[in-house]
Amino acid sequence: AQSVAQPEDQVNVAEGNPLTVKCTYSVSGNPYLFWYVQYPNRGLQFLLKYITGDNLVKGSYGFEAEFNKSQTSFHLKKPSALVSDSALYFCAVRDSEGQNFVFGPGTRLSVLP
């Protein structure tokens, strides 16, 4: 069965500093990995995905994520955080054979001015 862990409920970072939101996963086949961001009372917005190819994936709003197969991780990163990045971030995974997504529990990012 697929599963996703986001070990941190909350991440606080000062504006201008680099940020990392962690995600680890478990799937039976090849993983398709996604990051979404959710602002209050809004749906999910797609940030980036890893399907195949380069392990470093660049996405929207300056975010990037690195796929690490040996550590089964897909951490989300940004070199310089903005206050407007404050939101709820979800990592999701599905395997190459499946249809459904499995979402992690979410990590709330607070960027302090």
Q: Residue 53 burial (CB < 10 Å; 0-12/13-18/19+)?
A: exposed
Which residues in 72-111 contact other proteins (CB under 8 A)?
88, 90, 94, 98-101, 103-106, 108
- CA quadruple 95, 54, 48, 20: dihedral sign: positive
Q: Does 53 bind other proteins (CB under 8 A)?
A: no
Give whichever of 17 and 45 is closer to other proteins, judged by the CB atom. Answer: 45
**Minimum CB distance to other proteins smaller for 36 or for 63:** 36
Choose one: 18-26, 34-42, 69-77, 78-86; the region binding other proteins (CB under 8 A). Answer: 34-42
Closest CA to 111 of 83, 76, 80, 87: 83
| SS3 state at 87 | strand
Instruction: Write out the residues near other proteins by the rule CB under 8 A.
Output: 32, 36, 41-46, 49, 51, 88, 90, 94, 98-101, 103-106, 108
